[in-house]
Each structure stands twice: as structure tokens, then as C-alpha cells.
Structure 1
Amino acid sequence: MKNSRQRNGEVEAFEKEEAEAEVAHENGRVSDVVLGLDGGTTSTVCVCMPLLPFSDHGLADPPPVLARAVAGCSNHNSVGETASKNTLEQVMAETLCKSGSTWSAVRAVCLGVSGVNHPRDQERILKWLRDIFPSHVKLYVHNDALAALASGTMGKLHGCVLIAGTGCISYGVSKDGREARAAGAGPVLGDWGSGYGIAAQALTAVVKAHDGRGQQTMLTDSILKALGLSSPDELIGWTYADPSWARIAALVPEVVSCAEGGDQIANKILVEAVQELAVCVKAVAQRLGLCGEDGNGSFPIVMVGGVLEANKSWDIGKEVINCIRKQYPEAYPIRPKVEPAVGAALLALNFFLKESERHHNS
């Protein structure tokens, strides 16, 4: 606990910084900025951008990134509230410092944070931010999937994002602002199109082949070699020594290379993953009516995550799009050119400018 003298000293220091910043601002030395954060289970990325008018239809280049900082996990479900709040404050302070800006130059902040699955989560993080920022700063908190969507659509909230890395989620926004999601509840609750889901099924196939419950598969030699193990029996110890999702998901390239080599078991695992991922997008598109009443309207599908990267002849992302297009022929993929933290900053920018416009018109 801080004593009152410490607290008073901090308040005075903060007020002094605010006063200096206001003077600098009036003298034109500090420009208005927005902050965008992408907070995941692994790391938290923050970027700072100037507050410049910008087309949210992707017709103009977005404003430049003035500074970028990276910190650790900010998912409160993983590290607890205190550590999560400290990480957010630290990464924002570092970004502002690198950009030559101050807290008082910030006009809007948008956080895309994993673990925000309920209005209660949103309100908790907004409360932390209100403790950090002056009252005039506009604050927006969303699930990290929204930042990923915005990274593909340059801040325009329409369409669907499919994220398939260690985990998977599909998240969409309709033109009238309704939102829907599918999956994203972790592998225990059915995220079988994820990197974890693909690799866990491959490990299961190796164990089944070894004990006589399943067909022989190239996956056995491929996975044992990748892990430096000599027998499938050793997989049990390897798996439970550290059953973290990312460690298991890292085996996806072995599954892809076996499928490319003609292994039927590996191929079947990937085909089923494609169907799972396509169903996630189709469920969201259907609930939001993204393709219009006739089913022929077009909508973007922003593709994010290592599982969807187009670097193999067995291209999971391409197959997912082909599968979706059988039902929604005008859906089109977007592979983002900017990272999700920039998507969050563009959301902050667009939200702020639209709010200012409404306020001005009223």
C-alpha cells in the first residue's frame, strides 16, 4: 500500500506533467494521438498513431504508426487483474514515451483483449483505464477478434474474421452493427479447427496406430523425429509434462507435410479442420445475414493466424474459402497488411471521429 505522502507526490507529479503537456499542446509541440492495443494470452502490443481524418473504406492509406511497444500477457483470466492492469499501463507508457507524446495528448484508446467475452469483462477493463486516463479520453474495449477484423478492413467494422492459430474463433459484424461469434471457447469446448485441435488429433492417431486401434501413418515417424523421441510410448510423457496448447499446436507443420506426402490419416485430419473452420464462418454469416436475403451478397473474410498462412501446397486457408464459397459464392478473403494492434488504433480513430461528428451535428 502507498502512504498518503507517496500518493500526494504522484498526484502532484501527474498534475505537473498534465500542465506541461497542455502548454506544449497549445504551442503546437504535441499532436493529438490515439492508442491501439492487441492483448493476447502470449503478448500485448500497443501502437500510437496521430489523430488524422481517415477513410474507413480502405480508400486511403492509414495514418503512420508513430511508435510500437510489446509487453507480456494482459489476459486477466491468465495472470490476474493486478498483473493485467500493470502490463496495460506499462505498454501504453512505453509507447507514448517512444512516440514523444504524453498521456494528455491521447484522445482515444481502443483495446482488443483476449478474455473479453462478457460485458462484465469489458466494464472491468474500462474501470482500469478510467483510473489511468483523464476523463476526456474516449475509451473502447473489445475482444481481440474485433481488432483482428479491423486490421483487414482498415478500421471498417463489417464482415467476418476467422482466426486460426493455437486456438480458433470466427467473429462478425453486420452493417447495422450487430455482432456474432462462433467457437473461441477452447479445445475442450469444440475448437477442433484450431492448431491445437489439428495437432492433438495427429498425436491421437500416432498412439492409436501404435497400440493397434488405428491405421499406420507417416505421422508417427514425422512427429517422433520433430520431438526427438524414439517411440510412441514416449509421447505420453512428452504430452503431459507440459500440456500447454501452443506447444502442441506447434506440430501442425508435421501434419501438413504428411498430408502433402500422401498420408491419408493426416489428410483426413486437415479436411475435417477445414470443414470445422468453414462452419464457424458460415454460422456467423448466417446469424448476421452478411450476404443479404438472397445469399448472393458479398462480404469480406479476414484471415488471421498461422494455420491459415498460405505457404504450403496443402493450403488450409484456401480450402476454407473454397468450402465457404459453395454456400456464399461472393465471400472474399482478405489477408491483413497490418497487425491487429494497428486495427485497434484504426478502430479508436474511427470511433472517435464518428462520435465527434455526431456531437458536432447535434
Structure 2
Amino acid sequence: MKGHPNGEIEGFVGETLSAGVILGLDGGTTSTVCICIPATASIPFTGTKAAESIEILSRASAGCSNFNSVGAMASGTLGKLHGCVLIAGTGSIAYGFCEDGRRARAAGAGPILGDWGSGYGIAAQALTAVIRAHDGRGPQTILTNNILNLLGLSSPDEIIGWTYADSSWARIAALVPVVVASAEAGDEAANKILHYSVQELADSVKAVIQRLKLSGEDGNSSFPLVMVGGVLEANNKKWDIGKEVLKHISKDYPGVFSIHPEVEPAVGAALIALNQYTISLRADQTS
């Protein structure tokens, strides 16, 4: 499997053998595996020789430093790599694919380099707002009481120790629901943070669209936007981040339509592999 530096997606490889299975790997920390097995296949799954007896017709593995861009895209488009995928969880990335093989990425460089539309970015700004309110540099915000209550702390001063006690980005990003709830309660600071997040995520997608010309020469061609991640699903009665992001993008690119996958990235990777095998099989049959 070919890797690329600086968080670029890994290459995916197709192989054609005599008989066997289709294998998909999500390429992420979960290492999820999806195996597509023909109904007529006779494959033993017990015994010491079980794994060795399985021939892989085609395989695909997809991922980047923090996200599974290829698999996530394919999980929404049934294995077809065309359009854009926006992933916003602990981190965020926008990645686009063209049928001619061209690709483009925006964001996805990690929290230090400013993925402010991510869960980490939203929560870090909320923690900063609390500290600024506490020392007088910023306006008072209900984020203070809401975050203190959630963390079981008694003073904003304790937030400093809590923040640096563990370097896990996911631990910080877990505060996003509190920010959304505070925004829905009318808190100005929380609403400002979420609006900024929406703009950052929308700008990431727009940058990819522009570079790949996904909307066509007239800017009105249709293309899919696969939306994945907890931030895009963090919504209550008033706030729906994913919906707001799509609304911002649609103003400039009316042909965009959203897809929310119902399967894991590993399934998307398996679909890519299946498509690769189908193409190879047809080529063999016509040669």
C-alpha cells in the first residue's frame, strides 16, 4: 500500500486473481474490515489454514493522517470517486475527487495549523472564551457555568489544568455539544464560535470545488457533497451545523447536493475495490 506524506490519502490498489473475496479497509484508527464474499464461494473460516485459503480478488484501503477521506467519500457514492467529502469530527478536512483522477484538499492540517471548523477547534475556542471572560478580556458567557458543570470543576482557573492534563484532541472536542446547547440558549459567544465554524467548513469545501471545477464551467453543474462526522450531526432544535454549512455552499454552488452515508468508510473502500475488480474483469473478458 502506497503512503503519502503530510496527511495525503493512501493509494488504493486493485488486484485480479482467479477467485476469492473483495476486501475493504477503512485506513483509520479503528482498522475496520469489510469483506465482500460471493454467495457461491466455498471458503473455510476455521482452522490454521483458513486465512491462507482466501484469495483477494481486489482490495482497497483509504485514509489520511486523521480521517478516511477516500472510504468516506465512497461510502456515500457507492464506490464512485467524484465530488467532495467533508469530514468534521475531532478534526476536519475537505477532499475532492474528479473522474479523471485529479484530487484536491483543503484544511486537514490539524488543530495547530487551524482546523477551526473541527470539533477540537470549536471546543478550544469555547474554552478560550471562558478564560477570556474570567480574566476580563472578553464578555461574560454561559459557557463558563456549562463547561464547569460538565467537567465537575469549581473555577475557570481549574480549566487551565484540566486542558493541559491530557493531550488528547478528542477529549477537548467532546465539549462540542455544550457549545451547541449554549448557543441555542442564546449565548452570544457560543453562537459566534459556531458561525465561525460553519464559515470555515464551507470555505474548505468551496476551495476544493474551485480547484477541481466540480460545479462545471457555468458553476451550476450538480455534484455530491458527502458529509461525515459528529460536528455535522451536532444539532438540536435551533442549530444544525451541517445544514448551515450546506446553505452557505449552496449560495455560490446551487448544484451541490448532500449525502449522509449510512455505512462505514470500510464499506466504501470495499465498493472501490469491487468497482476496480469489475473493470479488470470486463477488460479481461474483452481482450
TM-score by length of 2: 0.87
Show the counterpart of 2:21: 33
Q: 1:337 aligns with which of 240, 262, 270?
A: 262
After superposition, the C-alpha distances for 1:99-153 in whole angstroms (9 at most, x for unaligned) are: x77553321111113339xxxxxxxxxxxxxxxxxxxxxxxxxx72010000000
Residue 156 (1) aligns with residue 80 (2): yes
Q: 1:47 aligns with which of 17, 23, 34?
A: 34
TM-score by length of 1: 0.69
Show the counterpart of 1:238: 162
Residue 292 (1) aligns with residue 216 (2): yes
Residue 258 (1) aligns with residue 182 (2): yes
Q: 1:283 aligns with which of 188, 203, 207?
A: 207
Rounded to whole Å, the distance in 1 between the matches of 2:122 and 2:23 is: 35
Show the counterpart of 2:60: 110
Rounded to whole Å, the distance in 2 between the matches of 1:207 and 1:244 is: 20
Matches within 5 A, 1:343-354: 343-354=268-279
Rounded to whole Å, the distance in 1 between the matches of 2:46 and 2:62 is: 21
CA change 1:97–1:247 in 2 (3 A) is: farther
After superposition, the C-alpha distances for 1:244-272 in whole angstroms (9 at most, x for unaligned) are: 10000000000000000000100000000
Does the 8 A contact of 2:234 with 2:241 survive in 1? yes
Show the counterpart of 1:121: none
CA change 1:169–1:51 in 2 (3 A) is: farther
Matches within 5 A, 1:58-137: 103-115=53-65
After superposition, the C-alpha distances for 1:25-68 in whole angstroms (9 at most, x for unaligned) are: x9xxxx72111111224x2111111259xxxxxxxxxxxxxxxx
Query: Which structure has the highest helix share of the two?
Result: 1
CA RMSD across the alignment: 2.1
Rounded to whole Å, the distance in 2 between the matches of 1:344 and 1:263 is: 41
Cα distance, 1:311 vs structure 2:
4.1
Residue 319 (1) aligns with residue 244 (2): yes
Q: 2:198 aligns with which of 274, 287, 292?
A: 274
Show the counterpart of 1:68: none
Does the 8 A contact of 2:180 with 2:234 survive in 1? no
Q: Give secondary structure in 1 for the equivalent of 2:226.
A: strand
Show the counterpart of 2:280: 355
Q: Give secondary structure in 1 for the equivalent of 2:62.
A: strand
Does the 8 A contact of 2:63 with 2:70 survive in 1? no
Does the 8 A contact of 1:159 with 1:174 survive in 2? yes
CA change 1:103–1:34 in 2 (3 A) is: farther
**Runs of 4+ displaced beyond 6 Å:** none
Rounded to whole Å, the distance in 2 between the matches of 1:215 and 1:103 is: 66
Identity, % of aligned positions: 62
CA change 1:317–1:45 in 2 (3 A) is: same
Show the counterpart of 1:64: none
Cα distance, 1:358 vs structure 2:
2.8
Rounded to whole Å, the distance in 2 between the matches of 1:346 and 1:213 is: 52
Please list every run of 5 or more consecutive structure 2 residues that lacks an aligned counterpart in the other structure: 1-17, 40-44
Q: Which amino acid aligns with 2:246?
A: I
Matched residues, number = 263
* CA radius of gyration, larger in: 1
Give the structure, 1 or 2, with the largest relative contact order (CA under 8 Å, sep 6 or more). Answer: 2
